[in-house]
C-alpha cells in the first residue's frame, strides 16, 4: 500500500494542461467579472505569507501530490481521482452551516472565503496506509471561519460533509462506504490554529482530485480526517459517528491522531515512506506537531481513544 507511483500513473502532460485550464477558469477565490450565473474565480496573486511547519523538509512534487491520492468518491485506486475528478463542477459551490450556532445559513463559496487573508502553510500529510507527503497548502485557519457563525455553548463538535452527487463523483455509485462522506472534530481541535481550510496548494487553485474547492487539513491526524469538497458544516453537542468509524469501528477511531505506538490492524504505524524517497523513516508522534497539540489530549488514554 505504500508503493511509489508508477510512470503509467502520472497524468499525461496534455491532459494535465487541459485540466489546469479548466481549473483556472472555474475555481479559486477572488470574485472577478461575472458574464452569467457563474462567476470566473481565480486565486489572488501572491506572494502569500508563509509558515513552514514541516521543519524545512523537501516538498513533495506537484506531480506526485496531484496524481497519488485517496478520494474514494472518484475511485479506490490512487490514480482514479486524477483520472475521474474532471467531472466535478465547482463554479457554483455553496456550503451550508447549521446546528448549534447563532448564524446558520447557506453561503456561496466566495462569500465564505473572500473575507479571509490566505497564507501558505507547509504541512506534512500522513496516510494511515504508511505513506506521507509534504505539501504547501493555501488557506486560512478553520477557527476564523467558525467564529463568524457564533457557535453556542452546546457546540462541542464540528461535523463536515462532502458533496454527494454520484453523477459527478462516480465512486459514490458503489456501496464502498456510506455516502456522503462525514468527518468531525472536537471543538478545541477545530479551533486550533494549525487546523486549516485549504483552497489551494503550491500557489495554485486546489485541483479537483485534491478536494476542490474547499477541504480541511488537520496535520497531526491521519489523512482521512482531512475531508475534501466540503458542502456542509454542522455544530453539534454529541460526538458524531464518522464515515470510517461506521465502516470499520475496530480499525478507525474518532480521534485518528498519528501515533507510532498504536498500529492499525493492517498496517504498522511505526514507520512511513515519504513519497519520492526510497527508505522509510520513523513516524513522529502527532506527525511531528506534538509541541503544538499534545495538550489537547492531556490525561487521555490514546490507545483507547485512538
Domain-embedded: residue 204 = yes
**Local confidence band at 28 (pLDDT 50, 70, 90 cut-offs):** very low
Q: How many domains in the chain?
A: 1
**Local confidence band at 245 (pLDDT 50, 70, 90 cut-offs):** very high
Q: What is the pTM of this model?
A: 0.86
What is d(CA 189, CA 185) in angstroms, rounded to the nearest whole number?
6
Domain-embedded: residue 241 = yes
Of 203, 38, 229, 234, residue with least CA distance to 137: 203
Domain extent, residue 192, equals 7-297
**What pLDDT score does 35 carry?**
26
Contacts of 19 (CB under 8 A, 6+ apart): 11, 86, 207, 208
Widest distance between CA atoms in the chain: 56
Residue 15 has pLDDT above 80, yes or no: no
> What's the chain's average pLDDT?
88
The upper half-sphere exposure of residue 50, i.e. CA atoms within 13 Å in the direction of its Cβ, equals 12
Reported as a single tens digit per residue, the pLDDT across 67-99 is: 999 999 999 999 999 999 999 999 999 999 999
Domain-embedded: residue 172 = yes
Domain-embedded: residue 287 = yes
**φ/ψ of residue 142, rounded to 5:** -55, -40
Domain-embedded: residue 1 = no
The CATH number of whichever domain residue 121 belongs to comes to: 3.90.420.10
Domain-embedded: residue 303 = no
Domain-embedded: residue 124 = yes
CA dihedral 76, 77, 81, 87 (to 10 degrees): -70
Domain-embedded: residue 304 = no
**Local confidence band at 125 (pLDDT 50, 70, 90 cut-offs):** very high
Amino acid at each position: 500500500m505504500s508503493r511509489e507511483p508508477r510512470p503509467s500513473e502520472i497524468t499525461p502532460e496534455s491532459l494535465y494542461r487541459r485540466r489546469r485550464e479548466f481549473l483556472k477558469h472555474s475555481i479559486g477565490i477572488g470574485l472577478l467579472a461575472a458574464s452569467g450565473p457563474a462567476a470566473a474565480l481565480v486565486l489572488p496573486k501572491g506572494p502569500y505569507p508563509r509558515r513552514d511547519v514541516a521543519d524545512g523538509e523537501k516538498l513533495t512534487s506537484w506531480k506526485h501530490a496531484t496524481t497519488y491520492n485517496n478520494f474514494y468518491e472518484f475511485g479506490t485506486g490512487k490514480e482514479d481521482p486524477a483520472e475521474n475528478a474532471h467531472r466535478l463542477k465547482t463554479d457554483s459551490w455553496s456550503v451550508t452551516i447549521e446546528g448549534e450556532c447563532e448564524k446558520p445559513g447557506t453561503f456561496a463559496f466566495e462569500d465564505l472565503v473572500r473575507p479571509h487573508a490566505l497564507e501558505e502553510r507547509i504541512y506534512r500529510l500522513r496516510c494511515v496506509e504508511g505513506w506521507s507527503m509534504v505539501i504547501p497548502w493555501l488557506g486560512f485557519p478553520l477557527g476564523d471561519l467558525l467564529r463568524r457563525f457564533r457557535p453556542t455553548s452546546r457546540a462541542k463538535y464540528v461535523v463536515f460533509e462532502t458533496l454527494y452527487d454520484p453523477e459527478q463523483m462516480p465512486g459514490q455509485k458503489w456501496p464502498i462506504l456510506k455516502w456522503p462522506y462525514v468527518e468531525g472534530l472536537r471543538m478545541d481541535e477545530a479551533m486550533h490554529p494549525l487546523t486549516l481550510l485549504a483552497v489551494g496548494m503550491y500557489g495554485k487553485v486546489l485541483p479537483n482530485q485534491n478536494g476542490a474547492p474547499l477541504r480541511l487539513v488537520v496535520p497531526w491526524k491521519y489523512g482521512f480526517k482531512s475531508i475534501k469538497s466540503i458542502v456542509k458544516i454542522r455544530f453539534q453537542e454529541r460526538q458524531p459517528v464518522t464515515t470510517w468509524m461506521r465502516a470499520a469501528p475496530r480499525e478507525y477511531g474518532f480521534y485518528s491522531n498519528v501515533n507510532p505506538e498504536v498500529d492499525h490492524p493492517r498496517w504498522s504505524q511505526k514507520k512511513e515512506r515519504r513519497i519520492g524517497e526510497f527508505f522509510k523513516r520513523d513516524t513522529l508522534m502527532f506527525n511531528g506537531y506534538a509541541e503544538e497539540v499534545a495538550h489537547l489530549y492531556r490525561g487521555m488514554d490514546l490507545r483507547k481513544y485512538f
